[in-house]
């Protein structure tokens, strides 16, 4: 059981109410594919990922970004049981998609940076820390079903 | 504290490049001219607000990764403290100086390498934590201007910087 402070609960819900999923999701995924190009290995079927411009304008990348945000929203709605919420997704990433779990935090870091750019000064060190903790819990839950 | 003799002996006997030097050389050569110019330009722009950016990055790191605070028991690291601002400024100015000529990073950072290896002995895993916190500070400060391309270049530069800093550790 993760112990969330009141501040963390309020902050996480507040962040997710403020950000535009249609913008943040695609931006985070494309940043991940651009900044850490080896992550492209999991997206061979996505078409043109040749350079930053191609990745940013790729519709499959954008669509996947939204899927990721919807997944994260489930965690926001179930903060007291993120582990159980992501059991199936964890199995999927492990057995079917075969994603190296060390990559999860790469996407997490890109998401932090995109949210930071969106919220500017509102993304204070304390708000940022709450978000990093949330990401760490999500990543840990996604790692759980790997063996 | 290691003796000067020991340091000289280590330098003389390390005929093979260390892994971190190899990583640095790879990272530095993988920075295109455009990326190096971009990095230099960004840090030149941030030099006037070095204290603000540096303190912000440190505060983020302390909040997100509390273990990092253990290296600062001798300073007042509360928000807006003079210690925090001075230290943040020092760090940002060093990063900015390195950005002036990335190919000379090992030369520019030589004194800091010695400091970190023999005196500060900060576990190099923490360098990644400060680098990430620095990137978030840049994102907050620059907003959309911190494009994916700039982000990628900056991440590579900070990785190279950290690798060089850790070079004399062992």
Q: A55-67 as b/e, with b when 16 or more CB fall inside 10 Å? A: bbebeebbebbbe
Give the number of domains in chain B: 1
Can you tell me the ipTM of this complex? 0.81
Cα torsion at A130, A105, B29, B11 (round to 10°)?
Answer: 80
Query: What residue spans of A19-124 are helical by DSSP H?
Result: 21-35, 52-56, 59-77, 82-85, 87-91, 104-119
What mean pLDDT, rounded, does chain B reach? 87
Q: Is the pLDDT of residue B11 over 80?
A: no
The alpha-carbon gap from B118 to the nearest alpha carbon of chain A, in Å, equals 31
Q: Which of B101, B118, B116, B96 is nearest to B163 (CA)?
A: B116
Name the DSSP class of A2: -
CB A117 to CB B144 under 8 A?
A: yes
pLDDT in tens, A92-126: 998 888 898 889 999 999 999 999 999 999 999 99
Reply yes or no on whether the pLDDT at A140 is more than 80: yes
B148 in a domain, yes or no?
A: yes
pLDDT band per the 50, 70, 90 thresholds, residue B163: very high
- Phi-psi category of B80—alpha, beta or left, where left has phi over 0 and alpha has psi -120 to 50? left
Mutate to test the interface with A, among B39, B69, B84, B148 (most CBs of A within 10 A): B148
Q: What are the tokens at A87?
A: 């059991």
Is residue B117 situated within a structural domain? yes
Range of the domain at B83: 2-165
Cα separation, B62 vs B58, in Å, equals 6
Q: Which band of pLDDT confidence, cut at 50, 70 and 90, is reported for residue B2?
A: very low
Residue B110 lies in a domain: yes
Residues of chain B that touch chain A, judged by Cβ-Cβ distance less than 8 Å? 56, 59-60, 62-65, 79, 132, 135-136, 139-140, 142-144, 146, 148-149, 151-152, 155
pLDDT at B10 over 60: no
B119: DSSP letter? I
pLDDT bin (cut points 50, 70, 90) of residue A1 is confident
Distance from CA of B149 to the nearest CA of A (A): 7
* pLDDT (average), residues A8-18: 97
Residue B30: predicted pLDDT = 81
Chain B nearest-CA residue for A118: B143
Query: For a pLDDT cut of 90, what percent of chain B falls above it?
Result: 72
Using a CB-CB cut-off of 8 Å, the residues of chain A touching B56 are: 125
pTM: 0.83
Helix (H) or strand (E) holding B54: helix B50-64
**Minimal Cβ distance to A35: which of B63, B143, B151:** B151
Token pair 């028991």 in the structure block, residue: B73
At B8 the pLDDT is 43
Pairwise CA distance, residues B169 & B66, whole Å: 23
Let me know if residue B104 belongs to a domain: yes
pLDDT confidence of residue A116: 97
Domains and CATH numbers, chain A: 19-143 (1.10.490.10)
Task: State pLDDT tens for residues A41-84.
Answer: 899 899 999 999 999 999 999 999 999 999 999 999 999 999 99
Per-residue pLDDT at B116 exceeds 80? yes
CATH number of the structural domain spanning residue B61: 1.10.490.10
In a domain, B95, yes or no: yes
């Amino acid at each position: 059981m993760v112990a969330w402070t009141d501040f963390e609960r309020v902050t996480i819900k507040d962040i997710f109410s403020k950000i535009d999923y249609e913008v943040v999701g695609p931006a985070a995924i494309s940043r991940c594919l651009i900044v850490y190009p080896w992550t492209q290995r999991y997206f061979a079927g996505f078409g043109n990922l040749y350079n930053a411009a191609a990745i940013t304008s790729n519709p499959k990348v954008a669509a996947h970004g939204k899927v990721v945000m919807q997944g994260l929203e489930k965690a926001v709605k179930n903060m007291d049981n993120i582990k159980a919420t992501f059991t199936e997704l964890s199995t999927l990433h492990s057995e079917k998609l075969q994603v190296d779990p060390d990559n999860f935090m790469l996407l997490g870091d890109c998401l932090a940076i995109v949210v930071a750019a969106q919220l500017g000064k509102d993304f204070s060190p304390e708000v940022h820390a709450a978000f990093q903790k949330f990401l760490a819990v999500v990543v840990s839950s996604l790692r759980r079903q790997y063996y | 504290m290691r003796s000067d003799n020991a340091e000289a002996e280590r330098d003389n006997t390390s005929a093979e490049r260390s892994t971190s030097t190899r990583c640095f050389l790879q990272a530095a050569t993988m920075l295109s001219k455009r990326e190096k110019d971009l990095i230099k330009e960004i840090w030149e722009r941030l030099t006037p607000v070095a204290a603000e950016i540096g303190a912000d990055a440190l505060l983020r790191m302390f909040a997100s990764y509390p273990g990092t605070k253990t290296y600062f028991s001798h300073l007042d690291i509360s928000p807006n403290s003079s210690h925090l601002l001075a230290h943040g400024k020092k760090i940002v100015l060093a990063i900015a100086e390195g950005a002036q000529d990335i190919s000379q990073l090992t030369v520019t950072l030589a004194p800091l390498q010695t400091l970190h290896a023999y005196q500060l002995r900060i576990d190099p895993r923490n360098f990644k934590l400060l680098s990430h916190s620095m990137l978030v500070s840049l994102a907050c400060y620059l907003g959309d201007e911190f494009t994916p391309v700039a982000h990628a270049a900056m991440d590579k530069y900070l990785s190279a910087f950290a690798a060089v800093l850790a070079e004399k550790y062992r």
